[in-house]
Chain A
Amino acid sequence: DAKTTQPTSMDCAEGRAANLPCNHSTISGNEYVYWYRQIHSQGPQYIIHGLKNNETNEMASLIITEDRKSSTLILPHATLRDTAVYYCIVRVAVDDKIIFGKGTRLHILP
């Protein structure tokens, strides 16, 4: 079973920041938080990952709480092309597989 909990769906206005929450209350100390997104008819696209510090790249920012029990993915200026299912994943420490949950379906509204 997935170790994360995400809202089923969210809406965000185009041009605004999209903030996608994720709960991972049972995360272990050496497990990373990964975010992927999947646009219709494509494979999942890697966005960002982190262990305990906040991370930023050209696509998004990842904010991880100090207790590491939750995180937020931030898309700073959402566009219509950001409409997708977003998966928050905790990478199992010993194994290397990815266990996907149901994700959050993000709708960007014009």
Chain B
Amino acid sequence: DAGVTQSPTHLIKTRGQQVTLRCSPKSGHDTVSWYQQALGQGPQFIFQYYEEEERQRGNFPDRFSGHQFPNYSSELNVNALLLGDSALYLCASSLYRLDQPQHFGDGTRLSIL
């Protein structure tokens, strides 16, 4: 049973560019959440998708957007990249119920030059 998978594992971009990160949820899960983790910090919630709609959003600018597909997989898009966007981007999947744990992938390491 595959867990949460993310691609790519590493990515290097330059300022001003756009990036798309991908996530496949754990089998049987219908909800995907995205987090940003800067070096030495805990993960910060970006947004959550369920039934192909954004359900919750953290304190991130509109440059960060997402999408969920009918097969529950998801993409995170970031436009106009800034140096401060360098971070580990984590995807977590779960069943859409409060008492169900989120399961995380190992993330995409994004470096902005």
In the bound complex, residues from chain B placing their C-beta under 8 Å from that of A2 are: 42
Count of CB-CB pairs between chains A and B under 8 Å: 59
Question: Is B98 positioned at the interface, with any CB of A under 8 Å from its CB?
Answer: yes
For chain B, the bracket of interface size reads: 20 to 34
Closest-CB distance, B40 to chain A (whole angstroms) = 9
User: Which partner residue on chain A sits nearest B109 by CB separation?
Assistant: A41
Cβ-defined contact, A103 with B42, below 8 A: yes
Cβ-defined contact, A43 with B4, below 8 A: yes
Closest-CB distance, B111 to chain A (whole angstroms) = 14
In the bound complex, residues from chain B placing their C-beta under 8 Å from that of A98 are: 33, 35, 43, 45, 92, 102
Given contacts A44-B90, A102-B42, A103-B42, contact A97 B106 (CB under 8 A): no
Given contacts A95-B56, A97-B33, A97-B56, contact A46 B102 (CB under 8 A): yes
The 8 A-B pairs at the shortest CB distance, nearest first, are namely A100-B42, A43-B104, A97-B45, A46-B101, A43-B106, A44-B104, A100-B43, A97-B56
Residue numbers of A with Cβ under 8 A of B are 2, 30, 32, 34, 36, 41-46, 49, 51, 87, 91, 93, 95-103
